[in-house]
Structures are given as C-alpha cells and as structure tokens.
Structure 1
Amino acid sequence: MSIERIDRVGVVGAGTMGNGIAQVAATHGYDVVMRDIKEEFVESGFENIDDSLDRLANRDALEEGPEAIRDRIEGTTTLEDLEDCDLVVEAALEDLEVKRDIFDDLEDVCDDDAVLATNTSTLSITSIAANLKRPERVIGLHFMNPVPIMEGVEVVVGEKTTDNAVDLAHEVAEDLEKTTWQSDDKPGFVTNRILMPWINEGIRAYDEGVATKEDIDAGMELGTNVPMGPLTLADHIGLDICLHASETLHEELGDRYKPAYLLKRKVETGDLGKKTGKGFYEHD
C-alpha cells in the first residue's frame, strides 16, 4: 500500500472529532464521505465544518476557498456509501461494543485492502479488531482536539496490525500536515496514560484547597511551560470525556488512575466544560 492510492477517505461519526477529521482530509485534497446514524447529526457536522472553514479563511489560513473544500465532503447516513473508501477512520462513541459493531459492518462493506482506523483515545485496538476476519488492517489514528488546529496524531499499533498499515497511517497523517508519534496498544497509549492522572491531580488540588483554580492553572502554565493548566484543559476536552477516559484507565491500571471526586460531581450536575458553557470556568 502507498499513499498515492488513498483517494477517498471515510469518516464514521460527524461529531467534534469526526467532522474535524473530515475537514482536514478535505482541506488536503481527499474526497471524503462523512457518515453518522442520523441526518441531523450529519447536518450538525457540516455546520461545524462551515464555521471552522470560515474562521480559517478569515485568518488567511486556507490555500483555497471554503466552498471548494466543503464540496469534497459527502454526507450520508448509509454505511454502504463508504465501500469505495481506501481508508476509513471511525470516530464514534468511546464504547467498545459500539466500535466493534461498526468495524464488523465496515469489514463487510469495505474492500479487502482498505485500512480501517479508529480514533479511540483509550480503548484497545486489539480488542476492537478481535472479532474481525482481517484484524491486521486495523490501526489507531488518534487525532487531537480540535483536529484542524492541533498538530499531533498518535499512531497506535494493535497486536496484529501489519507494518504496511502502520506505514500508511504515518504517511496519511503526515500528508495531512500532522506530526506523528507511535504507541503500542497499552491502556491510554502515550497521551492519555500521562495526561489523565495530571488532570485528575489538578482537580484534586483544587478540591482540597491547595490553591485557586486560576493559580493551579497559572502555576502549571508558567512553571512547566504547558499551554493550558489542568482545569482549563479539562474544560476544553470535556469533563465527561475526561471522566470516561479516567474510568477506563482505572479499570485497566489501578488506583493511580482513579477519577477525582470533583470531576465525577461536575459530570453528574451536567457541567461538562466549554460545550455546556460551564465546567471549572464559565464559557461563552
């Protein structure tokens, strides 16, 4: 397999990550099929893409007009519309059974030589592919949020993933002007294995009165040169997503990944961060 033969990219899921992946792929010349289970989800994904492209155009950050990029993306609720895709990236719910069902269907729909990737941030690539006839073509392509802005992509290698699939994943990501790093299929991979304990400890420090949330974030930003402190970053990611990732890692790796009590309380009250307007901070 070579990068030259990737002409058509499928994306399963039109939410925040899915529409971001679709946008970036279309921006770099790929024809894209973006699929979700309901038409309203597809339409919402396109609205986010249009808003993002307009913002980038206003900053002169696009080499061509938003309309040309948008025209490369086809929306659908029919999984069979992905049958001609050379690469499919799944960006659905972070639920193992949901992902397994999607990949079972993709194996039936897609050509035998198509590469099937998952954007999972915590779930095992090997487990996702376990029921497939050809698990060797499944790989992790973990994009960072927001996809059009963040430079990095984590390539995660499953137990049976072939070298060809690994090479192709790196090549595609780099063709999208992303920088890659590679992880074995261990819980949390590189990013969340290290990030989630850091966020949880920041939340615990705030909950225990070590400092104000502003001073905790300022201390980490100014003291360690990270662009966001743990509480700001948690709001940006989504507190529900942080909780789910922490719970998954806690189950796999033990008590050092136990979610902070305040994180659970915030999620229970519906204060999920930027997407709901309130998390640890207020957001417009």
Structure 2
Amino acid sequence: MVQEFDKVGVVGLGAMGAGIAEVFARAGFTVTGVEIDSAAVDLGRDRVHASMDKAVHKGKLTEAERDSILGRIAFSTAREDLANADFVVEAVPESIEIKRDVFADLDRVCPPGTILATNTSSLSVTEIAALTGRPEKVVGLHFFNPAPVMKLVEVVGTVGTSPGTVGVTAEVAKRIGKTPVTVSDRAGFVANALLVPYINDAISVYERRIASREEIDTAITKAAGFPMGPLTLADLVGLDVCVAVMDVLWEEFRDPRYAATPLLRRMVSAGMLGRKSGQGFYDHSGADNPAEDPPDGRIAQIVRNRERDFDLADLLLDAHIDDAMRMISDAYASERDVDTAMRFGCGYPKGPTELLEERGATRVAVTLHNAAALGLRGSRAPAPLLTDLLPRPVREG
C-alpha cells in the first residue's frame, strides 16, 4: 500500500514543517506545502531552498538532484490544494485551537482514505483525532529537529487509530529514511517523557546550588558521552518547550517527578528561553560566558566528594535510567524502543538500558536511595524492573 502513495501534504512550513516537506520530497513524494498566507509561504520556501543549497555546498547533493527535489514541492496558501493528498502531516504551532481549525479543514477537504498525521510533541493525539470524523485515520508522526537530519520518528496510535493506519505510517517513515518507534498515545511519548524530566533534574541541581552549570554539563558529557550537557540542551530545546512538556506530563500522571522547577518557570516568565531568545542558562548573543564559581554548600560538597557513594553524573544519569526502566516496567515501550528513541532522537551514544548494563543495577539503586535521603529526588522506590535486577540482599535491604 505504501508504494501506491505519491501525494503528500504538509500544513505549516516553519522550521519543522519545511524540514518535513524536504524529507518527503527527497524520498520521491510529490509534496504540497501549505501555509496561512503568502508571507509565511515565502518564508517556508526560503527555508527549504536554503537547506537544499546547504546540502549542495557540502557536497551531499548535486545541483541537478537539488533541482529535482525542489521540483517535487509546490507551495500554497489554500488547504483545498490537498484534496488529492494520500497522506497529510500537520506541523503547525502546539495549540489545540490552531490544530482544531487545521484538522476540521483537512477532514472536509481530503478524501476519506487520506491518513492525517500530526507532528505534535506534547498534545494528545487522541484529542486531535476526535476533532475529525475519521479517528481511525489519524496518527501521530513526531519528527525531531532538524527533520532532514534526525533519524527518529515516533509513530503514535490512539485507542481509535486502526492497526492498518499505524502500520502504513510506520512503513512511510521507513520509506523516507527514518527509524520509527511505534507507541500508544501517552504524554511525552518516549523521547520527551525521558529527556525533559532529566533536563528538569539538572535545572533543579543548578537551582539548589549543588553544582555550577559548567560542572553539570561537563559531568554528563564526560560520564556518558552525550553530545551536550543538559543545560546546554535546555537552551537548544527552548525553556518554554521544557515547561510545556513538563506540564503535559504533570497533567497526565500527577507525579511530583513531573513538576517543573521554579527556576525554569521564572526564566520562561522573564523571556529567557535559550537560543531562540539569545539568553538562557548561557548567553547566546555572542558575548562571553564567564565561568561560574563552584558552589560550596554542604550538599554540593557531599556530591562533589562522593560522600554518599554518588557523584554529580550519577545523580542525573541514574534518575534518568530509572525513568526509562519505569517506562519499560509499565509496558509502554520495549527496551529496544527506549534505546532506539534516545539514540536516534537525542543523539545518545548508548540508550538508557545500555547505560544500565554498563553501570550496574546496584549502583543505580544505591544512588537513588542515597539521593532521596538527602532530599534530592522523589521518595518513590526504584522502578520494579530495576528492583528485579538487584541482588537479593540489596533488594531486601
């Protein structure tokens, strides 16, 4: 069935939508990109052309290949131009009001057999599907930024999505060169549900003056080989996005683990959103970032000197691993899916379960216990699956 697909629509041509349009065109699909007005269309077209020109400049495409790809993309301000689309991806801003308008139009314009996919990263796919008269044909297709580069897509089915729709969407993802992870509709899906609480933990450590921003970021990149530390990553993702994801997780689970730190909220209120605003945990305006002095409080000393058998990297990584094991314990995602999501979606050299194997269950459990005793983490016990891996004396102690 996938081979019969030819015409794809993309609604919304911001940085993500333009990248998605490019990805489909590169894979041979005929693409119609739709924006709200001519000015937005021009910006979207410029984004696609700039990306293609960059690929030529780097030697990844010839000029002829670029021109062929661009020839498969049409730009429009009329959603009616999607009347013959086989597959449509919505990539408008994360507002249910905006999406309500988009999906009402798509449901009216597109043939009954057209699959409607949302690129939402935080909203309920189930709620979006309910805006249409074809919930069995609505699916989440969550790309990661930049879409032409990042290999992961999360394929998200709802209680109403047909298995055929999920299957076809996963095959479409493979055809455009992506690695799909298929899950059900749940707040944060896999990657954001694991990544953003880890970032939030790092912000809490910084807020409580347990370590400087440089200490936090360096500890993680040195210990785990992540491409960047959590505070640098927070600035890249956008602090407003981090708050939005934490709030969605809180609304769904009502677990203190998912309460955004006060510092994160204050920075967003102050307009300090990270790279997009020029200022976050680091200055992105071009000015130098002076190194901060390491905090010298009692808890900072305990962590720095490993007085309770854990250090800064342990504190952040082991809580992150526990979250992954809890997700697997809940049967939401498999070990393979969790590791795939974090490696291909977040650039991890090793997934959480691979990190667990490397670090050992006992070490992780001891860190969680001792950190909780210092009030550094919630009091909940380690994930059941993690507990099952412990030697009996540790498990019973």
How would you bin the TM-score normalised by the shorter chain?
over 0.9
Q: Does 1:31 align with 2:30?
A: yes
Look up the match of 1:240.
240
Q: Secondary structure at the match of 1:182?
A: strand
Q: 1:106: how far off?
A: 0.6
1:37-52 alignment, distance < 5 Å: 37-52=36-51
Distance 1:241 1:146 in 2: 16
Per the alignment, residue 266 of structure 2 pairs with 265
CA distance in 2, matches of 1:141, 1:250: 23
1-side partners of 2:192 and 2:281: how far apart?
20
CA deviation after TM superposition for structure 1 residue 58, in Å = 2.0
Q: How many residues align?
A: 283
* Preserved CA contact (<8 Å) 1:20 1:146: yes
Match of 1:98 in 2: 98
1:17 maps onto 2:16 in alignment: yes
Q: Which residue of 1 aligns with 2:307?
A: none
- Give matches, 1:100-115, under 5 Å: 100-115=100-115
Does the CA-based 8 Å contact 1:187-1:249 persist in structure 2? yes
Assess if the C-alpha contact under 8 Å between 2:8 and 2:30 holds in 1. yes
Counterparts of 2:69 and 2:61, CA distance in 1: 9
> Which secondary structure does the structure 2 equivalent of 1:218 belong to?
helix
Per the TM alignment, residue 185 of structure 1 is displaced from its structure 2 partner at its CA by 0.8
| Secondary structure of the structure 1 residue equivalent to 2:276 | helix
Match of 1:121 in 2: 121
Aligned counterpart, 1:180: 180
Task: Choose 171-180 or 226-235, whichever is displaced more.
Answer: 226-235
Question: Aligned residue for 1:192?
Answer: 192
Is 1:171 the counterpart of 2:171? The answer is: yes
Q: Say if 2:10 and 2:20, in contact at 8 Å, map to a contact too.
A: yes
Query: SS of the counterpart of 1:61?
Result: coil
Question: CA–CA distance in 2 between the matches of 1:218 and 1:234?
Answer: 14
Secondary structure, aligned partner of 2:156: strand
Aligned to 1:53: 52
| Stretch of structure 1 that moved more, 62-71 or 261-270 | 62-71
TM-score (norm 2): 0.68
8 A Cα contact 1:14 1:35, kept in partner: yes
Distance of 1:27 and 1:115 partners within structure 2:
20
SS in 2 for 1:37: coil
Considering Cα pairs closer than 8 Å and 6+ residues apart, tell me whether 1 or 2 has the greater RCO: 1
Q: Distance in 1 between matches of 2:265 and 2:43?
A: 28
Kindly indicate whether the alpha-carbon contact (under 8 Å) linking 1:11 and 1:33 is maintained by their aligned counterparts in 2.
yes
Deviates more, 1:120-129 or 1:266-275: 266-275
- Using the aligned pairs only, state the percent identity: 44
Question: Which of 12-21 and 37-46 deviates more?
Answer: 37-46
**1:226 partnered with 2:251:** no
Q: Which residue does the alignment assign to 2:147?
A: 147
Which residue in the other structure is 2:61 paired with?
62
The 2-side partners of 1:282 and 1:40 are apart by 31
Q: Is the 8 Å Cα contact of residues 122 and 244 (structure 2) preserved in structure 1?
A: no
SS of 1:112's equivalent? coil
- Checking the alignment, whether the CA contact within 8 Å between 1:139 and 1:157 is kept in structure 2 is yes
When structure 1 is superposed on structure 2, of 108-117 and 68-77 the one drifting more is: 68-77
> What's the offset of the Cα at 1:161?
0.8
The corresponding residue for 2:138 is: 138
Tell me the distance in 1 between the aligned counterparts of 2:283 and 2:65: 34
Measured after TM superposition, the shift of residue 115 of structure 1 is 0.5
Structure 2 residue 257 is matched with structure 1 residue 256: yes
Q: Distance in 1 between matches of 2:115 and 2:61?
A: 28
1-side partners of 2:43 and 2:235: how far apart? 21
How many angstroms apart in 2 are the aligned matches of 1:85 and 1:281?
A: 44
The code of the aligned residue for 1:234 comes to A
How far did residue 171 of structure 1 move? Answer: 1.0
Mapped contact 2:9–2:87 kept (Cα < 8 A): yes
Aligned to 2:211: 211
TM-score after normalising by structure 1:
0.94
* Structure-1 residue corresponding to 2:282: 281
CA deviation after TM superposition for structure 1 residue 131, in Å: 3.5
Amino acid at match of 2:152: G
User: Shift of the alpha carbon at 1:82?
Assistant: 1.1
1:273 is matched by which residue type in structure 2?
Answer: G
- Structure 1: how far apart are the matches of 2:7 and 2:153? 19
Give structure 1 regions of 4+ aligned residues with deviation exceeding 6 angstroms: none
- Let me know the Cα RMSD of the aligned residues: 1.6
Deviates more, 1:257-266 or 1:56-65: 56-65
Q: Helix, strand or coil for the counterpart of 2:31? A: strand
For 1:96 and 1:24, how far apart are their aligned partners in 2?
25
Check 1:55–1:131 CA distance in 2 against 1; reply closer, same or farther (3 A cut): closer
Amino acid of the structure 1 residue aligned with 2:203: I
Q: Is the 8 A contact 1:10 1:88 kept in 2?
A: yes
Larger Rg: 2
The residue type equivalent to 1:174 in the other structure is K
Check conservation: 1:100, 1:129, Cα contact below 8 A. Answer: no
